[in-house]
Amino acid sequence: MGTEDKAKNMGEDLKGKAKEATGKVTDNERLEAEGKRDQASADLKQRGEQLKDAGDDVKDAFNR
- Domain ranges in the chain are 3-62
Is pLDDT at 1 greater than 60 in this prediction? Answer: no
What does the pLDDT read at residue 55?
87
Rounded distance, CA 5 to CA 24, Å? 29
What does the pLDDT read at residue 14?
96
What does the pLDDT read at residue 57?
82
Rounded distance, CA 40 to CA 19, Å? 13
Instruction: Kindly report, residue by residue over 4-62, the tens digit of the pLDDT.
Output: 888 899 999 999 999 999 999 999 999 999 999 999 999 999 998 889 888 888 887 88
Is pLDDT at 64 greater than 80 in this prediction? Answer: no
What is the number of alpha carbons within 13 Å of residue 58 lying toward its C-beta? Answer: 6
For residue 31, which of 17, 43, 12 has the smallest C-alpha distance?
17
